[in-house]
Structure 1
Amino acid sequence: MEDQFVVRQVHTSLSSDSLESAHALSVDVGSPDSIWSIFSTITYNKGKHRASVIRMMEHFMTHETFRKGLSNYLAAHGNKTAEPDDLFANLDSQYLLDFPNRPVSVKTVMDTWTLQSGHPVITITRNYISGALTVTQERFYLRRSGDSTDTHDYKWWVPLTYTSNTNRDFLSTTTRTWMNSASSQITINNLGASANDWVIFNVQQIGFYRVNYDAQNWALLANYLNSESFTNIHVLNRAQLLDDAFNL
């Protein structure tokens, strides 16, 4: 079920959300005309988009904390009208209870995913001598018109998960590093991968974003995928690598 969700829902949503005409998940409307102005074929895919972003939220909160927070929300608002902030408040109360040292609130993270259009592409550039790597984020466009007037500075709170051939772990989807919405670039110094090892970001494609790598890491991944050991890479990450490579 999880495998099918990623291929049929996440990949489809990433594709439709990469257009310049994509709009945010949460949009204020004040009249019938404004409703029609945002209604399009892309709107049909927003259900998949929402589900993909909620899946990401569940994993950075952990399944049990998310489940308890959602139960609290339903108990408080089950027979009432509610807004996204009501959901985020209930989830964050549980998140803070279970993780008192959480680095960021649920609302702070989710506002960057629900109030902005599109999604990021995370680019990984490795220093094969020092072992450090640079992570950058920017909005991903499949195509962009040359006369675009959009000047918004798109940045997200991005939950980063990663693994390498040396320390393969495709089971843990716990966030290892956060990229905050004030940063377009961060450095990770202690990944623990040798120069001959591939690295993969976005374990099981939990995060709603694409990943690009420098040419050498892509080559390491391609060689490994063409070897008899290719099944050591999780099936969801194999699907992710193909989908990202075809769209970048």
Structure 2
Amino acid sequence: MGWVLKSGVSTDNGVDTNNGLGLSVDPEPVVYNTDQTTSITTETSPPSSPPPVPPSTPHVVMMTGSTQSYRLPATLQPLHYTLRIKPLIHGDQSVSGTVDIDLEVIQPTSNITVHASRMAVILKGITLEGGLGNSPIPVPSITHFSTDNVRNFFTAHLSGELGVGRAVRYSIPFVASLKNWGEGFFTFRYNDTGVERIMLASIHHPSFTRQAFPCLDEPQLKATFTLQVTRETNMTAISNMPIAETVPVEGEPGWVVDTFQKTPMMSPHHLLLVVTPFSYVEVVSKTGLPIRVWARSETLNETSYLQQVIVELLDYLETYTAMPFPLPKLDLVAVPADSPGAYGGWGLVQFYSDKKLYSATANSTDHHNYLTVLTAHQLAGQWFGGLVTPRWWSDIWLSKGFATYLHHLASAHVLPDEALVKNRPFHMMHMVMAVDSKPKCHPVHLNVKNPQTQRRMFDSITYHKASALIRMMNHFLTPDTFTKGVRSYLKTHEYGNADQDDLWEQLTQAGHEDGILDTHLNMSTIMNTWTLQPGYPVIRVVRDSTGTSATLLQERFIVVKGNRKRDRHANKWWIPVTFTNQTTPDFTDTRVQVWMSDTESQIQVNQLPSADDC
């Protein structure tokens, strides 16, 4: 690329991969590296046809050690991104491009702040112009830039104020590295029948989109996206939406530009890209959705079970949610990486080991069970996460908990005779109870203030305890009422954001309408005791001599080292209580018979069956 290193340590493409900030020592910097206390300049023109160069380049002010909020200023709402990129997969492992961000001012501001990390920003190519339907008043000029290496902020300071309702287009050319495994856009090498090949994949949540391109990298800042990818003709580009147009690159034989269809409103971390030489097989869902399974050509015929089960799982989830799949297509890519798990992007699922899709025991029951559960989880996230996205990472359980709960239901539906699949939710619940009984566990809803806490949220509490709480709500509200509330939640907030209070509102309304929840109760009062504090209660039942009444006592169950097995903390919960008897045993009716509130350490329950009936 012709980079010249001025100071510090750089990768071979001039894009550093350490944390920090830097400023060029040149009197008129051309490139600013948002990642390292390093400065670099370019000997050639910025790539990808950047916007017009302003007459002079504003200077950069470096700010470090910020103790302020990690959240972006609440002044701008992104409306649309146009992202044009050229990943040099077989070259120097860099990706160059330009992002145009259409913004609406929602509070008066004299600066524009975006996230950018581990990339070089080409200062001379940055422009700020008026957006659509704008006033004739000129847009203020950019006087200088500032950066914050702690919060990954890149801020343009303006000569004047932008008023409420003003629309602007902010264009930033950049160059990033493809060498950061599992973060942003990245490449990796794999063996294909003795031949080493390379491909590009992407992982963007919880805070890696800012390493792929400059953006407002917060989940509540949804926008539409148009993606243009310049690629080699022997590769295929796959993203959230179908390709709208492919044209050759003039003067560059062997290269083409794919323009993808405009996305619906979605969070920045949902924009994904795979560039690969893979082949695919296509199946069609029962509602006509095209589904492509991508893999190495010699192993594609071993994905037959996935092709079958994906159709059944989608049918179940569309029925459960009463909503069709929210995008016009679905791609599943078997990434040949030796890494656990999968990444369920919206409309594009990446399995991070193709052995998960096929293996030497691909026809075994265990493999089918595993693949069914894994696929069901990624598909459930298309609605709970893609269609309706948690407003902030504090409520990520609304995505991961529901995906876990629904992968249990969907898998059991597809494989009704498999005991392992049926018993999985109870096994996972017992596992997370061991975690949740420790003194220093975190609640399901945690006040997330920084990226470190964001990453902490992706654990068994968020996935499995949340799933158990969802299952509990399904029981005490009854499946019909609970499903009614969940469907209303999805419909009310489709293509938008939500937090747990939005879910409580819809479930409360359904419970009141169906007469399942007393009108003096609401789900917020009940469920906040389960999501806002850690742990869970243990209930002691002390019956009287006749057995017709009992005293119920609650306290937090907590395991500590030493001789003490319990530690009485002040935590209390709203607990739904139900019971049956030996004469007419009914374990299917799970409606609440008695509530134990969070202000009660004990309650008296009367009209129980006598001791002789038990």
TM over 0.5: yes
Residue of structure 1 equivalent to 2:574? 157
Residue of structure 2 equivalent to 1:104? 521
Is contact 1:20–1:144 with CA below 8 Å preserved after alignment? no
Is contact 2:555–2:569 with CA below 8 Å preserved after alignment? no
**Counterparts of 1:75-86 in structure 2 under 5 Å?**
75-86=491-502
Counterparts of 1:72 and 1:130, CA distance in 2 = 43
Counterparts of 2:524 and 2:562, CA distance in 1 = 32
Residue of structure 2 equivalent to 1:53? 469
* CA displacement at 1:152 relative to structure 2: 5.9
Residue of structure 2 equivalent to 1:114? 531
Counterparts of 2:561 and 2:492, CA distance in 1 = 43
SS in 2 for 1:121: strand
**Counterparts of 1:61-80 in structure 2 under 5 Å?**
61-80=477-496
Counterparts of 1:151 and 1:177, CA distance in 2 = 23
Q: Percent identity?
A: 33
- Structure 1 window deviating more from structure 2 (116-125 vs 171-180): it is 171-180
- State the one-letter code of the partner of 2:490: L
* CA displacement at 1:13 relative to structure 2: 1.9
Coordinate RMSD, CA, aligned: 2.6
* CA displacement at 1:129 relative to structure 2: 3.2
Is contact 2:541–2:552 with CA below 8 Å preserved after alignment? yes
Counterparts of 2:433 and 2:568, CA distance in 1 = 22
Specify which structure has the bigger relative contact order, considering alpha-carbon pairs within 8 angstroms and separated by 6 or more residues.
1
* CA displacement at 1:5 relative to structure 2: 3.6
* CA displacement at 1:144 relative to structure 2: 5.6
Counterparts of 2:547 and 2:610, CA distance in 1 = 10
Is contact 2:478–2:591 with CA below 8 Å preserved after alignment? yes
Deviation per CA, 1:150-183: give whole Å up to 9, x if none: 9962110000111233442222111111101110
Residue of structure 2 equivalent to 1:175? 592
Higher share of residues assigned strand: 2
Name the larger-Rg structure. 2
TM-score of the two chains, using structure 2 as the length reference: 0.29
- State the one-letter code of the partner of 1:123: R
Change (3 A) 1:35 1:130: closer
- State the one-letter code of the partner of 1:49: K
Is contact 2:481–2:514 with CA below 8 Å preserved after alignment? yes
* CA displacement at 1:87 relative to structure 2: 1.1
Counterparts of 1:23 and 1:105, CA distance in 2 = 24
TM-score of the two chains, using structure 1 as the length reference: 0.69
Is contact 1:126–1:133 with CA below 8 Å preserved after alignment? yes
Residue of structure 1 equivalent to 2:429? 10
- State the one-letter code of the partner of 1:84: Q
SS in 1 for 2:496: coil
Aligned length: 192
Counterparts of 2:501 and 2:570, CA distance in 1 = 23
Counterparts of 1:49 and 1:115, CA distance in 2 = 13
- State the one-letter code of the partner of 1:181: D
Q: 1:23 aligns with which of 442, 448, 461?
A: 442
- State the one-letter code of the partner of 2:509: S
Change (3 A) 1:166 1:119: same
Instruction: Tell me, yes or no, if structure 1 residue 124 matches structure 2 residue 124.
Output: no
- State the one-letter code of the partner of 1:10: M
Residue of structure 2 equivalent to 1:188? 605
Is contact 1:19–1:144 with CA below 8 Å preserved after alignment? no
Residue of structure 2 equivalent to 1:232? none
Counterparts of 1:138 and 1:85, CA distance in 2 = 26
Residue of structure 2 equivalent to 1:88? 504
Counterparts of 1:193 and 1:167, CA distance in 2 = 13
Counterparts of 1:111 and 1:63, CA distance in 2 = 21
Counterparts of 2:569 and 2:442, CA distance in 1 = 13
Is contact 2:547–2:608 with CA below 8 Å preserved after alignment? no
- Which structure 2 residue ranges, 5 or more long, are not aligned? 1-411, 413-420
Is contact 2:529–2:598 with CA below 8 Å preserved after alignment? yes
Deviation per CA, 1:33-52: give whole Å up to 9, x if none: 4446xx28x92343011110
- Which structure 1 residue ranges, 5 or more long, are not aligned? 199-248
Residue of structure 2 equivalent to 1:206? none
* CA displacement at 1:56 relative to structure 2: 0.5
Counterparts of 2:489 and 2:556, CA distance in 1 = 31
Change (3 A) 1:171 1:33: closer
Counterparts of 1:123 and 1:103, CA distance in 2 = 27
Is contact 2:550–2:604 with CA below 8 Å preserved after alignment? yes
* CA displacement at 1:128 relative to structure 2: 2.0
Is contact 1:165–1:193 with CA below 8 Å preserved after alignment? no
SS in 2 for 1:187: strand
- Structure 1 window deviating more from structure 2 (113-122 vs 163-172): it is 163-172
Change (3 A) 1:167 1:103: farther
